[in-house]
Amino acid sequence: MQKTDDKKLLIAALIDIDGLDKEELASYIMLPPDTSMGDYALPCFRLAKILRKSPQAIAEELKESILARDNPFSAVEAVNGYLNFKFDRTQAAGKLLAEVLEKGPEYGSSAEGEGKTVCIDYSSINIAKPFHIGHLSSTVIGAALYRMYLKRGYKPVGINHLGDWGTQFGKLIVAYKKWGSDEAIEKDGVMALTKIYVRFHEEAETHPELEEEARRWFKRIEDGDAEATRLYNLFKEKTLEEVGKVYARLGISFDSYNGEAFYNDKMAPILERLEAQNLITVSDGAKIVDLKEWGMSPCLLVKADGATLYATRDLAAAFYRKKTYDFFKSLYVVAYQQNLHFKQLFKVIELMGESWYKDMVHVPFGMVSLEDGTMSTRKGKVVWLKDVLDRAVEKAGEIIKEKNENLSDAAAVAEQVGVGSVVFFALSNNRIKDIVFSYDRVLNFDGETAPYVQYTNARAQSVLRKAGGIGSLKGAPLTKEELSALSGREGEELVSLLARFGETVSEALSKYEPSVVTRYIIDVARSFNRYYLAHRILNAPEGERRARLQLVYATHVVLKEGLRLIGVAAPEEM
If asked whether residues 58 and 173 sit together in one domain, one would say no
Q: Are strands 73-79 and 286-289 parallel, antiparallel or unpaired?
A: unpaired
Query: Which of 549, 540, 544 lies closest to 483, judged by CA?
Result: 544
- Is residue 563 within 8 Å of residue 453, measured between CB atoms? yes
Output the pLDDT for position 470: 85
Lowest mean per-residue pLDDT among 173-177, 276-280, 437-441: 437-441
Q: Is residue 453 part of a domain?
A: yes
For the entire predicted model, the pTM comes to 0.87
Does residue 358 share a domain with residue 415?
no
429 plus 519 within the same structural domain = yes
Q: Are residues 484 and 552 in the same domain?
A: yes
Identify whether 132 is a catalytic site residue: yes
Residue 24 has pLDDT above 50, yes or no: yes
Contact present, 128 and 169 (Cβ < 8 Å): yes
Average pLDDT, the chain: 91
**One domain, residues 33 and 180:** no
For residue 144, give every residue at least 6 positions away whose Cβ sits within 8 Å of its Cβ, in sequence order, or none: 427, 514, 517, 565, 566, 567
Shared domain check, 216 and 121: yes
Give helix then strand counts, H and E, for the chain. 23, 12
Residue 569 pLDDT level (bands cut at 50, 70, 90): very high
CATH of the domain at 342: 3.40.50.620
- Whether 501 is in a domain gets the answer yes
In a domain, 341, yes or no: yes
What CA–CA distance (Å, rounded) separates 344 from 322? 18
Whether residue 13 is predicted with pLDDT greater than 90 in this model: the reply is: no
Residues in Cβ contact with 509 at an 8 Å cutoff, skipping those fewer than 6 apart? 145, 148, 149, 152
Residue span of the structural domain in which 251 resides = 117-263+313-369
Is residue 303 flagged as an active site residue?
Answer: no
274: in domain:
no
* Of residues 38, 25, 28, the one with CA closest to residue 84: 38
What confidence tens digit (pLDDT) does each residue in 115-169 have? 999 999 999 999 988 788 889 999 999 999 999 999 999 999 999 999 999 889 9
How far from each other are the two terminal CA atoms of the chain, in whole angstroms? 31
pLDDT at 374 exceeding the cut of 60:
no
123 neighbors 246 (Cβ within 8 angstroms): no
Bridge partners (DSSP) listed for residue 78: 83
Confidence bin at 1 (pLDDT 50/70/90): very low
In a domain, 289, yes or no: no
Residue 221 has pLDDT above 90, yes or no: yes
- For residues 206-232, average pLDDT: 94
Task: Give me the CATH number covering residue 51.
Answer: 3.30.1360.70
In a shared domain, residues 327 and 444: no
Q: Based on the fold, state whether residues 233 and 353 are members of the same structural domain.
A: yes
Is the predicted pLDDT of residue 12 greater than 90, yes or no? no
Domain count, the chain: 3
Query: Are 79 and 126 contained in the same domain?
Result: no
Is position 129 annotated as part of the catalytic site? yes
418, 526: one domain = yes
Distance of CA 553 to the CA centre of its chain: 26
Active-site entry in 95, 132, 171, 395? 132
pLDDT in tens, 168-209: 999 999 999 999 999 999 899 888 998 999 999 999 999 999
308 within a domain of the structure (yes/no):
no
pLDDT, position 380: 52
Tell me the residue ranges of DSSP E strands in 219-341.
Answer: 281-283, 286-289, 299-302, 329-333
Q: Catalytic one among 3, 135, 171, 362?
A: 135
Strand order in the sheet with 117-121: 155-159, 117-121, 329-333, 360-363
Residue 163 lies in a domain: yes
Q: What is the CATH number of the domain that holds 439?
A: 1.10.730.10
Distance CA 130, CA 142 (A): 19
Classify 249 in phi/psi space as left (phi over 0), alpha (psi -120 to 50) or beta.
Answer: alpha
Q: 438 Cβ partners below 8 Å, 6+ apart?
A: 371
Question: 329 and 243 share a domain?
Answer: yes
527-562 residue pLDDT tens? 999 999 999 999 999 889 999 999 999 999 999 999
Q: Average pLDDT, stretch 52-76?
A: 88
183 assigned to some structural domain: yes
The verdict on 162 and 55 lying in the same domain is no
Residue 347: predicted pLDDT: 98
